[in-house]
Amino acid sequence: MADMVVARKEGLYCVPGAFYIDPWRPVARAIITHAHSDHARVGHGHYLAAAPGVGILKSRLGDINIDPLAYGETITHNGVTISLHPAGHVLGSAQVRMEYRGEVWVASGDYKVEADGTCAEFEPVRCDTFITESTFGLPIYRWQPQSEIFADINQWWRRNADNGRCSVLFCYSFGKAQRILHGIDPSIGPIVCHGAVEPLNRVYRDAGVRIPETLAVSDIKDKASYQRALVIAPPSAGGSTWMRRFGDYSDAFASGWMQLRGARRRRAVDRGFVLSDHADWPGLMQAIKATEAQRVIVTHGQIPVMVRWLNQNGWDAGAFETEYGDEDDESPTAVDADASKENLQANNA
């Protein structure tokens, strides 16, 4: 049987179903795995997405023609049975299961396997062919339990507050910011969110996710209040005039890339917290094995390493060239050299 999904200039295309998955150019019919900007773009004629992610997609893309699909619910289009299953990446993230004439393919979008309380937990889906991301697809990437990371963030914030210093934590506005807010101890002090973060907080709250009370900078009348505050801001705020109001502050960055020394140096922040919304190397291997797929197609990230490793370990592995990764979430392009260097050092140690 010919491949059910192929890579076209518009994006990943389901041939018998005549629809695209996360296309990067305008198409008539698109299934969207999640609302990060490299996977969800404006201009498509019709959108299909997991019901929990529709609010986020509308807040980011505007008035789009979109149908929600509950996790696990099935629909049939042009003979292809489609269902969406939790990817554990961000609110509303989904894997796309496609079945046609007895063959099953699953496109993962982005995913992580550690549950975090802000989105539905990753659900392995058995299939014949699995299309996987590989953002952190090198053996050096192994995450600490998130409870340890949140404890470190709380300790840093508490120490700064006790010393009368504002704590500014840079993280991506959609997904990472809400995960941090859900996981930290709000009793330490006031929490201030940048204008790019707060609208997304509201969508998460509307979806039933516990997000503590947050303030806008306009709510702070006394600059002394910043001395115990935690400020959540996107990376683009760093070095801007918006930062001047916080006076003497300590800054930090939360990302999986903080595991790399070069990435920490380039960010020039006081602290780096290794917290990712993508699977690490063991998580990728766990997810792939759980699908029981014989064939694996690798997309954005550390493609050559993963394809070679999978082929050496019994899978029929290949790759799709995509435009994913250049997003307002974690992108591998800026740190590939550091990752390759540190991976080589780790393998030679």
Cα–Cα distance for residue pair 99/58, rounded to 1 Å:
28
**192 with 336, same domain?**
no
DSSP readout, 14-81? Answer: ETTTTEEES-SS--SEEEES--STTT--S--SEEEEEGGGHHHHHHHH-S--EEEE-TT-EEEETTEE
**91 with 103, same domain?**
yes
Q: Tell me which residues of the chain have a pLDDT lower than 50.
A: 328-349
Cα–Cα distance for residue pair 310/317, rounded to 1 Å:
6
**12 with 100, same domain?**
yes
Question: What's the pLDDT score for residue 323?
Answer: 87
Question: What's the pLDDT score for residue 345?
Answer: 38
Burial 247-257 (b: 16+ CB within 10 A, else e): eebbbbbbbbb
Name the H helices within 208-335: 261-267, 281-291, 303-312
**188 with 168, same domain?**
yes
Of the three residues 273, 307, 330, the one that is the final residue of a domain is: 273
CA angle (74, 45, 12) in 5-degree steps: 65
pTM: 0.91
**152 with 49, same domain?**
no
Question: What's the pLDDT score for residue 267?
Answer: 73
Of the three residues 258, 273, 288, the one that is the final residue of a domain is: 273
pLDDT tens digit string along 212-250? Answer: 999 999 898 888 889 999 999 999 999 899 999 999 999
**214 with 302, same domain?**
no
Residue 300: its H or E element = strand 295-301
**227 with 322, same domain?**
no
Give 47: exposed, middle or buried? Use CB within 10 Å, 0-12, 13-18, 19+. Answer: buried
**22 with 132, same domain?**
yes
Domain with 164 in it: what CATH number? Answer: 3.40.50
**125 with 46, same domain?**
yes
Domain that holds residue 261: 146-273
Contacts of 163 (CB under 8 A, 6+ apart): none
Q: How many domains does the chain have?
A: 2
Q: What are the φ and ψ backbone dihedral angles of 80, each rounded to 5 degrees? A: -100, 125
Cα–Cα distance for residue pair 171/192, rounded to 1 Å:
13
Question: What's the pLDDT score for residue 343?
Answer: 39
Cα–Cα distance for residue pair 279/170, rounded to 1 Å:
21
Residue 251: its H or E element = strand 249-254
**11 with 136, same domain?**
yes
Question: What's the pLDDT score for residue 291?
Answer: 98
The residues that bridge with 271 in the sheet, in sequence order, are 252
The pair of three-digit structure tokens given for residue 305, joined into one six-digit string = 């390493």
198 secondary structure, DSSP code:
H
The residues that bridge with 83 in the sheet, in sequence order, are 74, 97
Q: Euclidean distance between the first and final Cα of the chain, in Å? A: 45
Cα–Cα distance for residue pair 283/293, rounded to 1 Å:
16
Residues in the chain: 349
Of the three residues 253, 273, 293, the one that is the final residue of a domain is: 273
**174 with 123, same domain?**
no
**178 with 100, same domain?**
no
Domain with 15 in it: what CATH number? Answer: 3.60.15.10
Question: What's the pLDDT score for residue 265?
Answer: 67
| Cβ atoms 263, 181 nearer than 8 A | no
